[in-house]
A and B are shown apart, each in its own frame.
Chain A
Amino acid sequence: MRTWVHVLGILGGIAATAGFEGWTTSSHGPRSKAHYASVENVSMTPREVALAYERSAFGQHSIEHVAADGNIVMVHYQSRNDRGATVGVDIYRIDQRKVAERWSISQAQTAVPSSAP
Protein backbone atom coordinates (compact mmCIF):
# COMPACT_ATOMS: atom_id res chain seq x y z
CA MET A 1 0.00 0.00 0.00
CA ARG A 2 1.30 3.44 -0.91
CA THR A 3 2.07 5.72 2.02
CA TRP A 4 -0.37 8.44 1.00
CA VAL A 5 -3.18 5.90 0.56
CA HIS A 6 -2.39 4.50 3.99
CA VAL A 7 -2.41 7.97 5.59
CA LEU A 8 -5.67 8.76 3.78
CA GLY A 9 -7.14 5.49 5.08
CA ILE A 10 -6.13 6.28 8.67
CA LEU A 11 -7.54 9.81 8.46
CA GLY A 12 -10.73 8.52 6.84
CA GLY A 13 -11.17 5.87 9.54
CA ILE A 14 -10.62 8.37 12.33
CA ALA A 15 -12.94 10.93 10.72
CA ALA A 16 -15.69 8.34 10.17
CA THR A 17 -15.38 7.11 13.77
CA ALA A 18 -15.34 10.63 15.21
CA GLY A 19 -18.45 11.51 13.19
CA PHE A 20 -20.22 8.31 14.17
CA GLU A 21 -19.35 8.57 17.87
CA GLY A 22 -20.12 12.29 17.81
CA TRP A 23 -23.61 11.57 16.53
CA THR A 24 -24.34 8.59 18.81
CA THR A 25 -23.24 10.44 21.97
CA SER A 26 -24.87 13.76 21.02
CA SER A 27 -28.11 14.88 22.65
CA HIS A 28 -30.02 13.59 19.57
CA GLY A 29 -28.12 10.29 19.34
CA PRO A 30 -29.10 6.88 20.72
CA ARG A 31 -26.30 6.97 23.33
CA SER A 32 -26.79 10.46 24.77
CA LYS A 33 -26.02 11.50 28.35
CA ALA A 34 -29.75 11.38 29.07
CA HIS A 35 -29.87 7.77 27.85
CA TYR A 36 -27.04 6.65 30.14
CA ALA A 37 -28.46 8.64 33.06
CA SER A 38 -31.81 6.88 32.67
CA VAL A 39 -30.07 3.48 32.56
CA GLU A 40 -28.07 4.28 35.70
CA ASN A 41 -31.20 5.48 37.45
CA VAL A 42 -33.02 2.19 36.93
CA SER A 43 -29.87 0.14 37.49
CA MET A 44 -28.91 1.24 41.01
CA THR A 45 -28.57 -1.64 43.42
CA PRO A 46 -29.83 -1.32 47.04
CA ARG A 47 -26.19 -0.92 48.11
CA GLU A 48 -25.68 1.98 45.65
CA VAL A 49 -28.94 3.65 46.73
CA ALA A 50 -27.98 3.41 50.43
CA LEU A 51 -24.48 4.75 49.79
CA ALA A 52 -25.80 7.60 47.65
CA TYR A 53 -28.22 8.55 50.45
CA GLU A 54 -25.54 8.22 53.13
CA ARG A 55 -23.11 10.44 51.22
CA SER A 56 -25.68 13.09 50.32
CA ALA A 57 -27.30 13.28 53.78
CA PHE A 58 -24.24 12.67 55.97
CA GLY A 59 -21.28 13.90 53.98
CA GLN A 60 -19.13 14.10 57.12
CA HIS A 61 -19.39 10.34 57.67
CA SER A 62 -16.32 8.28 56.93
CA ILE A 63 -17.72 4.98 55.66
CA GLU A 64 -15.83 2.02 57.07
CA HIS A 65 -17.83 -1.02 55.92
CA VAL A 66 -20.90 -1.74 53.82
CA ALA A 67 -22.83 -5.01 53.86
CA ALA A 68 -25.91 -5.80 51.81
CA ASP A 69 -28.37 -8.65 52.12
CA GLY A 70 -31.05 -8.36 49.49
CA ASN A 71 -32.79 -5.03 49.97
CA ILE A 72 -31.27 -4.51 53.46
CA VAL A 73 -28.00 -2.55 53.56
CA MET A 74 -25.85 -1.86 56.61
CA VAL A 75 -23.35 1.01 56.65
CA HIS A 76 -20.72 1.21 59.39
CA TYR A 77 -19.35 4.73 59.69
CA GLN A 78 -17.22 7.02 61.81
CA SER A 79 -17.89 10.71 62.26
CA ARG A 80 -15.99 13.50 63.96
CA ASN A 81 -17.24 16.91 65.05
CA ASP A 82 -16.55 19.52 67.77
CA ARG A 83 -17.89 17.24 70.51
CA GLY A 84 -15.69 14.30 69.54
CA ALA A 85 -15.81 11.17 67.44
CA THR A 86 -18.85 8.99 66.89
CA VAL A 87 -19.16 5.51 65.49
CA GLY A 88 -22.41 4.06 64.24
CA VAL A 89 -24.32 1.79 61.95
CA ASP A 90 -27.11 2.86 59.64
CA ILE A 91 -29.42 0.11 58.45
CA TYR A 92 -31.48 0.76 55.34
CA ARG A 93 -34.40 -1.00 53.74
CA ILE A 94 -34.50 -0.14 50.04
CA ASP A 95 -37.70 -0.46 48.06
CA GLN A 96 -38.08 0.48 44.37
CA ARG A 97 -34.63 2.16 44.40
CA LYS A 98 -35.71 4.44 47.26
CA VAL A 99 -34.91 4.48 50.97
CA ALA A 100 -38.06 3.03 52.56
CA GLU A 101 -36.78 2.79 56.16
CA ARG A 102 -33.64 3.71 58.06
CA TRP A 103 -32.51 2.70 61.53
CA SER A 104 -29.47 4.32 63.12
CA ILE A 105 -27.36 3.18 66.06
CA SER A 106 -24.46 5.33 67.21
CA GLN A 107 -22.32 6.07 70.23
CA ALA A 108 -19.38 8.22 71.18
CA GLN A 109 -16.11 6.64 70.28
CA THR A 110 -14.17 5.52 73.35
CA ALA A 111 -10.48 4.90 73.63
CA VAL A 112 -9.47 1.25 73.74
CA PRO A 113 -7.24 0.40 76.74
CA SER A 114 -3.73 -0.39 75.69
CA SER A 115 -3.63 -3.57 77.79
CA ALA A 116 -6.16 -5.79 79.49
CA PRO A 117 -6.37 -5.53 83.34
Chain B
Amino acid sequence: MASAAHQIDPVATTSRSFLIPFYAVQFFFGAWFLYNGLNFFVSFFPQPSGSSPLSHELISALIDSKLFAVVKLLEAVTGLAFLANRFVPLAAVLAFPISFCIAHLNFVANGDTFSVITSIVVIAFNGIIAIGHLDRFLPMLACNQGDPGPAGLRAFFGRS
Protein backbone atom coordinates (compact mmCIF):
# COMPACT_ATOMS: atom_id res chain seq x y z
CA MET B 1 0.00 0.00 0.00
CA ALA B 2 1.44 3.38 -0.92
CA SER B 3 1.76 5.89 1.85
CA ALA B 4 0.04 9.27 1.61
CA ALA B 5 3.43 10.99 1.18
CA HIS B 6 4.04 9.13 -2.09
CA GLN B 7 0.64 9.80 -3.60
CA ILE B 8 0.62 12.23 -6.53
CA ASP B 9 -1.70 15.20 -6.22
CA PRO B 10 -3.76 15.04 -9.47
CA VAL B 11 -4.63 18.75 -9.27
CA ALA B 12 -0.97 19.81 -8.96
CA THR B 13 0.10 17.47 -11.81
CA THR B 14 -2.61 18.72 -14.14
CA SER B 15 -1.78 22.27 -13.25
CA ARG B 16 1.90 21.93 -14.10
CA SER B 17 1.33 20.05 -17.37
CA PHE B 18 -1.21 22.72 -18.25
CA LEU B 19 1.09 25.63 -17.38
CA ILE B 20 4.27 24.58 -19.18
CA PRO B 21 2.97 24.67 -22.79
CA PHE B 22 1.07 27.89 -22.15
CA TYR B 23 4.10 29.63 -20.69
CA ALA B 24 6.36 28.24 -23.44
CA VAL B 25 4.07 29.74 -26.08
CA GLN B 26 3.78 33.02 -24.17
CA PHE B 27 7.53 33.53 -23.78
CA PHE B 28 8.32 32.57 -27.37
CA PHE B 29 5.53 34.75 -28.73
CA GLY B 30 6.58 37.62 -26.45
CA ALA B 31 10.20 37.46 -27.54
CA TRP B 32 9.14 37.15 -31.18
CA PHE B 33 6.93 40.25 -30.95
CA LEU B 34 9.49 42.24 -28.97
CA TYR B 35 12.28 41.32 -31.39
CA ASN B 36 10.29 42.20 -34.51
CA GLY B 37 8.79 45.31 -32.93
CA LEU B 38 12.16 46.70 -31.84
CA ASN B 39 13.73 45.74 -35.15
CA PHE B 40 11.86 48.59 -36.83
CA PHE B 41 13.59 51.11 -34.55
CA VAL B 42 17.04 49.56 -33.95
CA SER B 43 17.42 47.23 -36.97
CA PHE B 44 18.74 43.88 -35.71
CA PHE B 45 18.27 42.62 -39.27
CA PRO B 46 17.17 44.36 -42.50
CA GLN B 47 13.53 45.43 -42.14
CA PRO B 48 11.40 43.10 -44.32
CA SER B 49 9.74 45.07 -47.07
CA GLY B 50 7.15 42.41 -47.78
CA SER B 51 7.47 38.94 -49.24
CA SER B 52 5.33 39.60 -52.29
CA PRO B 53 4.70 42.65 -54.50
CA LEU B 54 1.30 43.20 -52.82
CA SER B 55 2.62 43.08 -49.26
CA HIS B 56 5.58 45.23 -50.35
CA GLU B 57 3.16 47.92 -51.51
CA LEU B 58 1.08 47.68 -48.33
CA ILE B 59 4.10 47.82 -46.00
CA SER B 60 5.59 50.71 -47.99
CA ALA B 61 2.31 52.64 -47.60
CA LEU B 62 2.21 51.86 -43.87
CA ILE B 63 5.79 53.06 -43.44
CA ASP B 64 5.18 56.26 -45.45
CA SER B 65 2.02 57.04 -43.46
CA LYS B 66 3.90 56.42 -40.14
CA LEU B 67 1.27 53.85 -39.16
CA PHE B 68 3.90 51.12 -39.25
CA ALA B 69 5.77 52.83 -36.39
CA VAL B 70 2.60 52.70 -34.28
CA VAL B 71 2.09 49.02 -35.12
CA LYS B 72 5.70 48.19 -34.30
CA LEU B 73 5.56 50.13 -31.02
CA LEU B 74 2.42 48.20 -30.03
CA GLU B 75 4.12 44.97 -31.08
CA ALA B 76 7.13 45.72 -28.86
CA VAL B 77 4.98 46.77 -25.87
CA THR B 78 2.79 43.65 -26.04
CA GLY B 79 5.89 41.48 -26.48
CA LEU B 80 7.40 43.06 -23.38
CA ALA B 81 4.18 42.41 -21.43
CA PHE B 82 4.25 38.71 -22.41
CA LEU B 83 7.88 38.39 -21.39
CA ALA B 84 7.36 40.28 -18.14
CA ASN B 85 4.26 38.14 -17.48
CA ARG B 86 2.30 41.30 -16.66
CA PHE B 87 -1.02 42.52 -18.18
CA VAL B 88 -1.04 39.31 -20.24
CA PRO B 89 -4.83 39.20 -20.93
CA LEU B 90 -4.74 42.85 -22.06
CA ALA B 91 -1.64 42.22 -24.19
CA ALA B 92 -3.31 39.18 -25.78
CA VAL B 93 -6.23 41.39 -26.83
CA LEU B 94 -3.96 44.23 -28.05
CA ALA B 95 -1.77 41.81 -30.00
CA PHE B 96 -4.67 40.12 -31.76
CA PRO B 97 -5.26 42.78 -34.47
CA ILE B 98 -1.54 42.68 -35.26
CA SER B 99 -1.56 38.88 -35.34
CA PHE B 100 -4.61 38.91 -37.60
CA CYS B 101 -2.97 41.35 -40.04
CA ILE B 102 0.27 39.32 -40.08
CA ALA B 103 -1.71 36.12 -40.70
CA HIS B 104 -3.94 37.66 -43.36
CA LEU B 105 -1.03 39.25 -45.20
CA ASN B 106 1.00 36.04 -45.11
CA PHE B 107 -1.92 33.85 -46.15
CA VAL B 108 -3.53 36.04 -48.81
CA ALA B 109 -0.76 38.24 -50.19
CA ASN B 110 2.26 35.92 -49.91
CA GLY B 111 0.80 32.42 -50.01
CA ASP B 112 4.06 30.44 -50.02
CA THR B 113 4.48 27.50 -47.62
CA PHE B 114 6.52 29.39 -45.04
CA SER B 115 4.01 32.27 -45.04
CA VAL B 116 1.03 29.93 -44.62
CA ILE B 117 2.73 28.18 -41.68
CA THR B 118 3.58 31.58 -40.16
CA SER B 119 -0.03 32.74 -40.47
CA ILE B 120 -1.33 29.61 -38.74
CA VAL B 121 1.30 29.75 -35.98
CA VAL B 122 0.78 33.43 -35.16
CA ILE B 123 -3.00 33.05 -34.79
CA ALA B 124 -2.63 29.77 -32.89
CA PHE B 125 -0.08 31.19 -30.44
CA ASN B 126 -2.07 34.36 -29.80
CA GLY B 127 -5.18 32.19 -29.34
CA ILE B 128 -3.42 29.81 -26.94
CA ILE B 129 -2.31 32.72 -24.75
CA ALA B 130 -5.86 34.11 -24.74
CA ILE B 131 -7.37 30.69 -23.94
CA GLY B 132 -5.00 30.40 -20.98
CA HIS B 133 -6.74 33.48 -19.56
CA LEU B 134 -10.21 32.74 -20.87
CA ASP B 135 -11.72 33.29 -17.43
CA ARG B 136 -10.77 36.99 -17.79
CA PHE B 137 -12.69 37.27 -21.05
CA LEU B 138 -15.81 35.30 -20.12
CA PRO B 139 -17.71 38.37 -18.80
CA MET B 140 -17.21 39.97 -22.23
CA LEU B 141 -18.95 37.06 -23.88
CA ALA B 142 -22.29 37.75 -22.18
CA CYS B 143 -25.12 37.78 -24.71
CA ASN B 144 -27.43 39.84 -22.54
CA GLN B 145 -25.06 42.30 -20.92
CA GLY B 146 -27.67 44.35 -19.08
CA ASP B 147 -27.60 48.11 -18.60
CA PRO B 148 -24.40 50.17 -18.35
CA GLY B 149 -23.57 51.24 -14.80
CA PRO B 150 -20.91 52.72 -12.54
CA ALA B 151 -19.86 49.40 -10.97
CA GLY B 152 -16.85 49.05 -13.29
CA LEU B 153 -15.60 52.56 -12.57
CA ARG B 154 -16.01 52.00 -8.84
CA ALA B 155 -14.08 48.73 -9.01
CA PHE B 156 -11.37 50.34 -11.19
CA PHE B 157 -10.79 53.13 -8.68
CA GLY B 158 -10.98 50.73 -5.73
CA ARG B 159 -14.27 51.96 -4.28
CA SER B 160 -16.90 49.46 -3.29
Using a Cβ–Cβ cut-off of 8 Å, how many residues does chain B contribute to the interface with A?
A: 26
Let me know if B127 is at the binding interface, CB within 8 A: no
Report whether over half of chain B's contact residues are helix, strand or loop; otherwise say mixed: helix
Task: Output the nearest chain B residue to A16 by Cβ-Cβ distance.
Answer: B28
Measured CB to CB, the closest approach of chain A to B102, in angstroms, equals 13
Residue pair A33, B46 in contact (C-beta under 8 Å): yes
Measured CB to CB, the closest approach of chain A to B31, in angstroms, equals 4
Instruction: Pick the contact of B48: A12, A17, A36 (CB < 8 A).
Output: A36
Let me know if A112 is at the binding interface, CB within 8 A: no
Q: Which of B7-15, B52-60, B134-142, B145-153 touches A? A: B52-60
Residue pair A10, B46 in contact (C-beta under 8 Å): no
Contacts of A36 in B (CB 8 A): 46, 48-49, 51
Contacts of A14 in B (CB 8 A): 31, 35, 83
CA distance A88 to B44 in the complex (A): 41
Given contacts A13-B29, A13-B83, A14-B83, 10 further A-B pairs with CB under 8 A are A6-B85, A10-B27, A12-B28, A13-B30, A17-B32, A30-B112, A31-B48, A31-B114, A36-B48, A43-B57
Q: Could you count the A-B residue pairs with CB atoms below 8 Å apart for me: how many are there?
A: 69
Residue pair B27, A9 in contact (C-beta under 8 Å): yes
CA distance A21 to B29 in the complex (A): 12
Task: Output the nearest chain A residue to B50 by Cβ-Cβ distance.
Answer: A39
Residue pair A18, B53 in contact (C-beta under 8 Å): no
Instruction: Pick the contact of A39: B27, B45, B52 (CB < 8 A).
Output: B52
> Interface residue tally of chain A, by bracket?
20 to 34
Let me know if A20 is at the binding interface, CB within 8 A: yes
28 residue pairs of the A-B complex, CB under 8 angstroms, read A9-B27, A9-B85, A10-B27, A12-B27, A12-B28, A13-B27, A13-B28, A13-B83, A16-B31, A17-B31, A17-B35, A18-B31, A18-B35, A21-B32, A21-B35, A24-B114, A25-B45, A30-B112, A31-B114, A35-B51, A36-B48, A36-B51, A39-B49, A40-B49, A40-B56, A43-B49, A43-B52, A43-B53
